[in-house]
């Protein structure tokens, strides 16, 4: 009898959990887009005057560091097929399309002395094609493809990059700013600095941890801020756009109440190191991060902290240097620290300075990427923390998405998008000022060291076909309907036998 009662109760609970949720409306002002990045889609790596960048260099390295020895030499051939990309943006009914500029395609010497007209034409054509169909271009100035020559000069660890980057930025404002209203200076500085300079998992594949990532971080922040002020002082009044930075941000859930400080340190070392100088009143790195690195440096026998200090002028420059906070959010980790963490990481190192172990729970659903755990409530918690920490800045979700191994029936991706958008709406109901949402990605593309093995696209790409054929997945149909109705409908089932239509009337 007792067992029967238990069974009935359990069944009721399970059914209730899976009961279909009511559709939810998106606020009218919320804009929707999709994102890509230059090296991940353009191909044409050495065509029409483009010079070598750090991804070209490592893609051609022997032995190859990239899965299956894939390269971005051809990628999606968007350099040639950009009209098809815009057609897909029209099919989806996007408000905006986020893409990035290739520095070495526009400035083959890396510097302003030579402007490559063919590269400029490509971006002009793409921008004009988008605008013809009322799709706003959202342009990332730097998404990881540094000219190789600048890397040979030390890349982001050389403070002169502040001038190199801001010269490049001034040129792109002059070239494209009459038609671009959304600018993102940098995509994910943490990945640039930590993965590129200290854990060797992105180009330029350096492993100088505990040192190089901090030099990179400081120079990158100052370069970003100088670019912001150039836009503000020289272009804003005539071009009338908006400009900010985009950070990667996970949620770091404490294992339990004993690990609250670990969770906060994890957040500050990943998100805070950039968000705090720009969005807090101090204009400086997070106090806990400064303290941990300074104390470790002293114990290790350094004469000063391995985290460089900002000058008073730099603090003034960096503080407030973003109109909005761009957030790329994908996943959540559990943060853990006790005495057993000591000795896990080499010292000195970024991870030793942070002193936190981040791990995933085994019952969290996962994407094809080893790091991608599906934890939508983490998105809600992250957004409300940002609101509380930084006086509710305008937020652009510049990336959010799910990886699979391929296939058109991508119900797991659809579940991901629905649950994450549901969590985002919860946060917006709490007052979080989210202005735009961007799905990563418009289409499958070159997924960095994973090559073409992990697929993030709303459109599937056949990389073996000469035309790099793009085919809408089920998630593309769902995204389209969501944008058309401005409704998060948990039960809508598309008819995939019907081709995608273009409904913009143009």
> Looking at the annotation, which residues are catalytic?
188, 399
Question: Whole-angstrom Cα distance, residue 256 to residue 432?
Answer: 26
Report the residue number, 170 or 224, with the smaller CB distance to ligand PNW. 224
Q: Are 34 and 458 in contact (CB under 8 A)?
A: yes
Could you tell me the smallest distance in angstroms from the CB atom of residue 420 to ligand PNW? 13
Look at residues 430, 495, 281, 262 and name the one whose alpha carbon lies nearest to residue 359: 262
Binding mask 189-218 for ligand PNW (x = CB under 6 A): --x---------------------------
Question: Whole-angstrom Cα distance, residue 458 to residue 478?
Answer: 9
Among 102, 116, 187, 419, binds ligand PNW (CB under 6 A): 187
Look at residues 86, 78, 281, 323 and name the one whose alpha carbon lies nearest to residue 184: 323
Among 330, 379, 402, 437, binds ligand PNW (CB under 6 A): 330
Report the residue number, 279 or 330, with the smaller CB distance to ligand PNW. 330
Residue 37 binds ligand PNW (CB under 6 A)? yes
Residue 266 binds ligand PNW (CB under 6 A)? no
Look at residues 70, 33, 4, 5 and name the one whose alpha carbon lies nearest to residue 436: 33
Cβ-proximal residue to ligand PNW, closest one: 248
Residue 34 binds ligand PNW (CB under 6 A)? no
Residue 250 binds ligand PNW (CB under 6 A)? yes
Report the residue number, 235 or 452, with the smaller CB distance to ligand PNW. 452
Could you tell me the smallest distance in angstroms from the CB atom of residue 99 to ligand PNW? 11
In the sheet that 332-336 helps form, which strands lie side by side, from edge to edge?
251-254, 332-336, 357-359
Q: What tokens appear for 372 in the block?
A: 């991608």
Instruction: Determine the 3-state secondary structure of 205 from DSSP.
Output: coil
Could you tell me the smallest distance in angstroms from the CB atom of residue 305 to ligand PNW? 25
What is each CA distance from 115 to 110, 180, 226, in whole angstroms?
A: 9, 19, 21
Residue 248 binds ligand PNW (CB under 6 A)? yes
Q: Could you give phi then psi for residue 175, rounded to 5 degrees?
A: -75, -40
Among 176, 269, 437, 440, binds ligand PNW (CB under 6 A): 440
Could you tell me the smallest distance in angstroms from the CB atom of residue 398 to ligand PNW? 8
Could you tell me the smallest distance in angstroms from the CB atom of residue 140 to ligand PNW? 9
Report the residue number, 248 or 404, with the smaller CB distance to ligand PNW. 248
Contact range with ligand PNW by CB under 6 A, out of 104-112, 187-195, 340-348, 463-471: 187-195
Distance of CA 219 to the CA centre of its chain: 19
Checking DSSP bridges between strand 332-336 and strand 251-254, what pairing results, if any? parallel
Contact range with ligand PNW by CB under 6 A, out of 62-70, 122-130, 327-335, 415-423: 327-335
Residue 269 binds ligand PNW (CB under 6 A)? no
Beta bridge partners of 24: 488
Among 78, 331, 438, 475, binds ligand PNW (CB under 6 A): 331
Beta bridge partners of 35: 98, 440
Residue 56 binds ligand PNW (CB under 6 A)? no
Question: Whole-angstrom Cα distance, residue 149 to residue 213?
Answer: 19
Q: What's the number of CA atoms in the CB half-sphere (13 Å) around residue 336?
A: 13
Q: What tokens appear for 129 in the block?
A: 């094609």
Q: What tokens appear for 209 in the block?
A: 């941890």
Q: Which residues bind ligand PNW (CB under 6 A)?
A: 37, 187-188, 191, 248, 250, 328, 330-331, 371, 399, 440, 447, 456
């Amino acid at each position: 009898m007792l067992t029967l009662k238990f069974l009935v109760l359990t069944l009721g609970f399970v059914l209730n959990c899976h009961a279909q949720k009511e559709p939810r409306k998106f606020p009218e002002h919320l804009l929707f887009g999709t994102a890509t990045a230059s090296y991940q889609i353009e191909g044409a790596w050495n065509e029409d005057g483009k010079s070598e960048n750090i991804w070209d260099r490592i893609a051609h390295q022997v032995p190859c560091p990239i899965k299956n020895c894939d390269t971005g030499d051809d990628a999606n051939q968007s350099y040639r097929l950009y009209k098809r990309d815009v057609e897909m943006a029209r099919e989806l009914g996007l408000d905006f399309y986020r893409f990035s500029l290739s520095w070495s395609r526009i400035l083959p010497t890396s510097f302003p002395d030579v402007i490559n007209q063919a590269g400029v034409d490509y971006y002009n054509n793409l921008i004009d094609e988008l605008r013809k169909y009322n799709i706003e271009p959202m342009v990332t100035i730097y998404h990881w493809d540094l000219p190789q020559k600048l890397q040979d000069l030390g890349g982001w660890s050389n403070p002169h990059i502040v001038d190199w980057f801001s010269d490049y930025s001034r040129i792109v404002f002059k070239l494209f700013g009459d038609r671009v209203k959304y600018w993102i200076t940098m995509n994910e500085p943490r990945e640039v600095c930590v993965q590129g300079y200290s854990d060797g998992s992105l180009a330029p594949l350096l492993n100088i941890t505990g040192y190089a990532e901090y030099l990179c971080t400081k120079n990158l922040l100052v370069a970003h801020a100088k670019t912001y002020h150039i836009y503000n002082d020289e272009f804003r009044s005539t071009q009338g756009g908006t400009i900010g930075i985009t950070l990667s941000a996970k949620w770091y859930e404490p294992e339990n109440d004993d690990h609250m400080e670990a969770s906060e340190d994890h957040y500050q070392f990943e998100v805070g190191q950039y968000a705090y100088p720009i969005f807090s009143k101090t204009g400086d790195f997070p106090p806990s991060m400064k303290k941990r690195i300074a104390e470790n440096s002293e114990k290790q026998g350094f004469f000063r902290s391995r985290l460089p200090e900002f000058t008073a002028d730099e603090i003034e420059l960096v503080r407030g240097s973003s109109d909005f906070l761009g957030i790329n959010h994908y996943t959540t980790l559990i943060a853990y620290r006790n005495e057993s963490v000591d000795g896990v990481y080499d010292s000195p190192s970024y991870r030793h300075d942070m002193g936190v172990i981040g791990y995933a729970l085994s019952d969290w659903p996962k994407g094809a990427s080893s790091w991608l755990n599906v934890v939508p409530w983490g998105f809600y918690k992250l957004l409300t923390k940002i609101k509380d920490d930084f006086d509710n800045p305008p937020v652009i979700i510049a990336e959010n998405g799910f990886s699979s191994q391929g296939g058109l029936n991508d119900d797991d991706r659809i579940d991901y998008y629905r649950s994450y958008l549901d969590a985002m709406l919860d946060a917006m109901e709490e007052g979080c000022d989210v202005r735009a949402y961007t799905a990563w990605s418009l289409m499958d593309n070159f997924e960095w060291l994973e090559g073409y093995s992990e697929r993030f696209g709303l459109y599937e790409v056949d990389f073996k076909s000469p035309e790099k054929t793009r085919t809408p997945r089920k998630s593309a149909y769902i995204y389209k309907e969501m944008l058309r109705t401005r409704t998060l409908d948990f039960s809508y089932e598309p008819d995939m036998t019907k081709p995608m239509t273009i409904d913009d009337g143009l």
